[in-house]
Amino acid sequence: MKNDCIVAAWNTIEPSGAQDARVLSAILSANRSEGKRNEKTMLHTKKLLIPAVALLLLAVVGVVGIRLNWFTASREPIEAESEGAPVNDTECKVPNPILDEELDAAFGYLFPTEIEKGYVLTEEGFNLYSDSADALHAEHRVLKATYYNEELDDTLLIEVAPSAYFGGYLKNTPYGVVQYGDPQTDGTRSSMIFFENDGITILYQFGKTDIAAMNAEAAERFYAMVHSARCFCRISPAESEENDEIDIDG
Amino acid sequence: MKNPLLRTDKEIAELYARHKSTVWRVCFAYLKNPADTEDAVSETFIRLIRSAPAFESEEHEKAWLIRTASNVCKNQLKHWWRKREDIDRCYDLPDAKPIEANEVLETVLALPDRYKAAVYLYYYEGYTGAEIAGILKKPQSTVRNQLREARAILKERLGDDFDEK
């Protein structure tokens, strides 16, 4: 201690027994009420938390349900075995057989997920290549649509028409075999493939992506898309445009 | 030292017993009457209960209480309605422990409020200037100045009674 007289003076300052008891009593009382207040707060928090958690779960179920098409009447893809069966408008409005989860794969983003009225292909993330992307040539029952995929930086051309429409071009071109266009100045070349189904021919053409280089999983999706695309030819003849020239590259 | 959010009555009573004298003296140094001191001591411990701070050691706990008690007293003194009580008033309180009125105590309690905590910690608790700066969360230079000025006042008023060793 630095100074005895100051220490001695401070030592005289002490609470009396009664003061000590009063202060301790006040402190303990505050401690108990604090405990009760915490309990009340916890109860109150629980009361708020339960409905909040319930709402959150509901929202999560809703979002997951929508993502997985739980709430859609028909989720089944148009399977290969249904090929050749008459296609009606209702069928054409069903979602594309490419399931949402498959869209996670890079290749999946190439495909439209909805086919509405047989000719409009829409999907967030797909940019229409041009205003005529949903060009409809009803007179000849031909669809020609071009989509641009930002992720792959490539275009996908889809043409659906009666096989006769492609005429001579198909004479020496087998179905189901990848064909290539002439190499471009940057070394890329387009690849295309024709499929035929019940008198309808469908052409898929990528600007520079090699269809043959697709892995098995991607190719499977590609075929699923091919099967669904027959809906494209179910076009209402309401619009009638001249189908003078459809230029097929390659 | 554990940091329970809620302490039991036993823990609170033990904590109070450990630090009541220190807190009581700090509060009395500022407020100079037992009634206000009682309120301030209660308020200091209640703040500890409500804020439930985490203490690393008993010294840390003590430092927190000293700083909080000092702040509680300063807040009380700021109230416009508060009448500053003279030390003599304490003798009139019925159950207050009689405080021996001596010149040294009166001189110490008459120091300006800003010096009191530092003087108490330095002369009574035996802390160094650096430790006091840590406890009061003030710069060391400020604490050194406060102690120097307080020492000068005490020397002037107490003369030979203030024989600093």
The answer to whether residues A133 and A246 touch, using CB atoms and an 8 Å cutoff, is no
B-chain residue closest to A32, CA distance: B9
Q: Which of B41, B5, B36, B3 is nearest to B22 (CA)?
A: B41
Asked if A34 and B41 come within 8 Å (Cβ–Cβ), the reply is no
Which among A10, A14, A35 has the least Cβ separation from residue B124? A10
Secondary structure, 3-state, B32-77: CCHHHHHHHHHHHHHHHHHHCCCCCCHHHHHHHHHHHHHHHHHHHH
Q: In this predicted model, what pLDDT tens digit does every residue of B26-61 receive, in sequence order?
A: 998 888 888 888 889 999 999 988 887 878 888 888
- The letter for the amino acid at B31 is L
CATH 1.10.10.10 fits B102-165, yes or no: yes
Asked if A34 and B5 come within 8 Å (Cβ–Cβ), the reply is no
CATH number of the B1-98 domain? 1.10.1740
Task: Map out the domains of chain B as residue ranges.
Answer: 1-98, 102-165
Residues of chain B found within 8 Å of residue A6, distances taken between Cβ atoms: 104, 108, 119, 123-124, 154, 162
B-chain residue closest to A3, CA distance: B164
- Residue B72, burial from CB neighbour count under 10 angstroms (0-12, 13-18, 19+): buried
The β-bridge partners of A115 are A121
- Answer positive or negative: Cα dihedral of A172, A173, A174, A175: negative
- Residue A128, burial from CB neighbour count under 10 angstroms (0-12, 13-18, 19+): middle
pLDDT averaged over chain B?
Answer: 80
Which among A15, A28, A34 has the least Cβ separation from residue B20? A15
Asked if B13 and A24 come within 8 Å (Cβ–Cβ), the reply is yes
For the record, the structure tokens of A93 come out as 């409005």
Give the end-to-end CA distance of chain A in Å, rounded to a whole number: 101
Q: Rounded to 10 degrees, what is the CA torsion of A217, A118, A242, A204?
A: 0
| Residue B116 reports pLDDT greater than 80 | yes
Residues of chain B found within 8 Å of residue A22, distances taken between Cβ atoms: 38
- Can you tell me which residue has the tokens 């949402």? A100
| Residue A100 reports pLDDT greater than 50 | no
Q: Tell me what ipTM this predicted complex has.
A: 0.76
Which residues fall within 8 angstroms of residue A78, CB to CB, at 6 or more apart? Answer: A91, A94, A97, A227, A228, A230, A231
Residue A124: count other Cβ atoms within 10 Å of its Cβ: 6
For the record, the structure tokens of A4 come out as 């005895």
Asked if A27 and B42 come within 8 Å (Cβ–Cβ), the reply is yes
Check residue A109 and give its pLDDT. 44
A120 SS3 class: strand
Asked if A13 and B25 come within 8 Å (Cβ–Cβ), the reply is yes
**Mean pLDDT, residues A109-136 taken together:** 38
Asked if A10 and B49 come within 8 Å (Cβ–Cβ), the reply is no
Asked if B6 and A14 come within 8 Å (Cβ–Cβ), the reply is no
A-chain residue closest to B124, CA distance: A7
Distance from CA of A5 to the nearest CA of B (A): 7
The answer to whether residues A19 and B38 touch, using CB atoms and an 8 Å cutoff, is yes
Nearest-angstrom CA–CA distance, A97 and A69 = 12
The answer to whether residues B143 and B114 touch, using CB atoms and an 8 Å cutoff, is no
Which residues fall within 8 angstroms of residue B33, CB to CB, at 6 or more apart? Answer: B85, B87, B89, B90, B93
Which among A1, A6, A16 has the least Cβ separation from residue B96? A16
| Residue A139 reports pLDDT greater than 50 | no
**Mean pLDDT, residues B13-19 taken together:** 89
Q: In this predicted model, what pLDDT tens digit does every residue of A197-214 receive, in sequence order?
A: 666 677 778 888 787 776
Nearest-angstrom CA–CA distance, A243 and A138 = 8
B-chain residue closest to A9, CA distance: B105
Residue B102 phi/psi, 5° resolution?
Answer: -130, 165
| Residue A144 reports pLDDT greater than 50 | yes
Q: Where are the beta strands (DSSP E) in chain A?
A: 114-116, 120-122, 126-128, 136-137, 142-149, 154-162, 179-180, 191-197, 200-206
More confident of the two residues A77 and A63: A63
Provide the pLDDT confidence category of residue B106 given band limits of 50, 70 and 90: confident
